[in-house]
């Protein structure tokens, strides 16, 4: 399949400003400043660009939520936290095409009326923070950002871009926690409404978009919305950066049109499974998305609508492949440990439930679980799902719920009908005996 790469084009040294300029860099910004903000927002809406950070919400519609008649300062936050296990695409932009992100940022700021943008990058991305800072310094030095923009582009608009380093908290990938973190507060999600467009950073109107989403903006302005809308699936157009990892011969980031077959991604681009083993399980969009059975992935397309029909979601496009020898109970226990560790503790169902799920899964891994434990896991997951302030509850519950439902045989094979547990504080002569678990549970 021949196709044009939009976010990560195959141009050597594109991260250097002079190379970026030779390839039409910052021409989209020049064009954007000749349009009105409504015209830009309309172009982005018509292009069908959807968020690449997880929820796949329309970028243009999100921008249109920003109030027009409001004297309050407006902000743009760009989410480069990328803490989702299995996701590693945004760092490719920081490293290989940072100026397109910067250009997309100034166009987006102009469209929504923001004078300041914060690029929030996870603290562990030390290397990529340095690389992006270098590109940003070059852009400032050449008046593509900041006060010098007015003279450079012949406009009365200017904006500033700041890098904000996170401190390794998964919860700060959630948009309201991200804003609390930038404000210097604890990374707790906020209750919505009010939504960020009404009350975001310091109570002012704020828009939050993912790194990959914003990097798509300059080509849309340059080539028109019709061009972008014609790529991939009509309801979820454009290319997507798929980060594929796990049991594949060629893990990495592949930019492909939305709607690319999952099997094509695994077997053609990622070189198939080592040893030609069968695929047992695939998580299509980062560890929080519902897993798919390997024997049911034939014909599944990688776009938001198709994956929804298949019973999962596109998420961050982080595809995790597991072969026939994978111990899915251990995998799930490891995923559960991550969400237990990363729960901020604000909501009781998530704070308590993630710990319960981890304890139950560890018990099954040790061979001490009963059939009742498997049903209890689903019950706990259902009690978390939909009952928390932010989506971390679902992120923790979905893998547990759907992994068990779709691979029930794996879990049933690891548990016993009746578990004998040692009872403490017995007389010395009975110390080596055990009692059935059922009376204790009942």
CATH no. for residue 337? 1.20.1440.230
Q: In a structure prediction context, what are the per-residue pLDDT tens digits for the chain, which is 442 residues long?
A: 457 899 999 999 999 999 999 999 999 999 999 999 999 999 999 999 999 998 899 999 999 999 987 789 999 999 999 999 999 999 999 999 999 999 999 999 999 999 999 999 999 999 999 999 999 999 999 999 999 999 999 999 999 999 999 998 999 999 999 999 999 999 999 999 999 999 999 999 999 999 999 999 999 999 999 999 999 999 999 999 999 999 999 999 999 999 999 999 999 999 999 999 999 999 999 999 999 999 999 999 999 999 999 999 999 999 999 999 999 999 999 999 999 999 999 999 999 999 999 999 999 999 999 999 999 999 999 999 999 999 999 999 999 999 999 999 999 999 988 776 666 666 666 666 666 666 555 5
Looking at the fold, whether 220 and 347 belong to one and the same domain comes out as no
Domain span at residue 76 reads: 17-229
Domain assignment present for 422: no
Q: Could you tell me which residues are beta bridge partners of residue 244? A: 252, 319
Domain assignment present for 421: no
**Whole-number pLDDT of residue 69:** 75
Looking at the fold, whether 192 and 302 belong to one and the same domain comes out as no
CATH no. for residue 86? 3.40.50.11540
The whole model's pTM is what? 0.93
Answer with the one of 323, 338, 373 that is the final residue of a domain.
323
What's the total number of domains in the chain? Answer: 3
Looking at the fold, whether 168 and 52 belong to one and the same domain comes out as yes
CATH no. for residue 302? 3.10.20.600
Domain assignment present for 362: yes
Looking at the fold, whether 311 and 190 belong to one and the same domain comes out as no
Rounded (to 5) percent helix, strand, coil in the chain = 45, 15, 40
Answer with the one of 213, 229, 245 that is the final residue of a domain.
229
**Which phi and psi (to 5°) does residue 240 adopt?**
-130, 140
Looking at the fold, whether 247 and 199 belong to one and the same domain comes out as no
Looking at the fold, whether 133 and 120 belong to one and the same domain comes out as yes
- 162-166 long-range Cβ contacts below 8 angstroms, 24+ apart: 162/116, 162/117, 162/118, 162/119, 163/118, 163/119, 163/121, 163/129, 163/132, 163/133, 163/136, 164/118, 164/119, 164/120, 164/121, 165/121, 165/122, 165/123, 165/129, 166/81, 166/120, 166/121, 166/122, 166/123
Domain assignment present for 12: no
- 152-157 long-range Cβ contacts below 8 angstroms, 24+ apart: 153/29, 153/30, 153/33, 154/33, 155/33, 157/33, 157/110
Looking at the fold, whether 42 and 127 belong to one and the same domain comes out as yes
Q: Of 394, 400, 247, which is closest to residue 326 (Cα–Cα)?
A: 247
Looking at the fold, whether 157 and 22 belong to one and the same domain comes out as yes
Length of the chain counted residue by residue: 442
């Amino acid at each position: 399949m021949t196709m044009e790469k939009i976010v990560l084009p195959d141009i050597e040294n594109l991260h250097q400003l002079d190379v970026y300029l030779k390839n039409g860099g910052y021409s989209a910004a020049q064009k954007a400043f000749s349009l009105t903000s409504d015209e830009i927002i309309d172009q982005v809406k018509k292009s069908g660009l959807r968020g690449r950070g997880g929820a796949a919400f329309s970028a243009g519609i999100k921008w249109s939520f920003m109030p027009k008649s409001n004297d309050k300062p407006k902000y743009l936050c760009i989410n480069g936290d990328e803490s989702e296990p299995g996701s590693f695409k945004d760092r490719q932009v920081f490293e290989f095409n940072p100026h397109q992100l910067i250009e997309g940022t100034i166009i987006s700021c102009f469209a929504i009326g923001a004078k300041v943008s914060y690029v929030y990058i996870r603290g562990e991305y030390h290397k990529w923070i340095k690389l992006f800072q270098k590109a940003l310094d070059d852009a400032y030095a050449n008046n593509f950002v900041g006060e010098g923009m007015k003279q450079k582009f012949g406009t009365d608009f200017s904006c500033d871009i700041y890098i904000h380093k996170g401190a390794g908290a998964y919860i700060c990938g959630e948009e309201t926690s991200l804003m609390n973190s930038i404000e210097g507060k604890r990374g707790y999600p906020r209750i919505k409404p009010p939504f960020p467009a009404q009350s975001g950073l310091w109570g002012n109107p704020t828009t939050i978009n993912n790194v990959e989403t914003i990097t798509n903006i300059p080509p849309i302005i340059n080539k028109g919305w019709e061009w972008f809308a014609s790529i991939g699936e009509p309801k979820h157009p454009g290319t997507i950066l798929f980060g594929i990892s796990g049991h594949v011969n060629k893990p990495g980031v592949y930019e492909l049109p939305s709607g690319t077959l999952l099997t094509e991604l695994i077997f053609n681009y990622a070189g198939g499974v080592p040893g030609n083993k069968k695929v047992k399980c695939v998580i299509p969009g980062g560890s929080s998305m519902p897993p798919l059975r390997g024997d049911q992935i034939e014909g599944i397309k990688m776009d938001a609508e198709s994956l929804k029909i298949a019973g999962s979601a596109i998420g961050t496009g982080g595809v995790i492949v597991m072969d026939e020898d994978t111990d899915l109970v251990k995998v799930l226990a490891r995923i559960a440990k991550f969400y237990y560790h990363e729960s901020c503790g604000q909501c009781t169902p998530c704070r308590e439930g993630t710990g319960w799920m981890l304890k139950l899964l560890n018990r099954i891994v040790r061979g001490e679980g009963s059939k009742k434990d498997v049903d209890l896991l689903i019950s706990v997951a259902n009690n978390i799902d939909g009952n928390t302030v932010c989506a971390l509850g679902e992120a923790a519950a979905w893998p547990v719920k759907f992994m068990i439902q779709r691979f029930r045989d794996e879990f049933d094979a690891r548990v016993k009908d009746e578990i004998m547990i040692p009872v403490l504080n017995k007389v010395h002569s009975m110390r080596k005996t055990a009692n059935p678990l059922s009376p204790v549970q009942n």
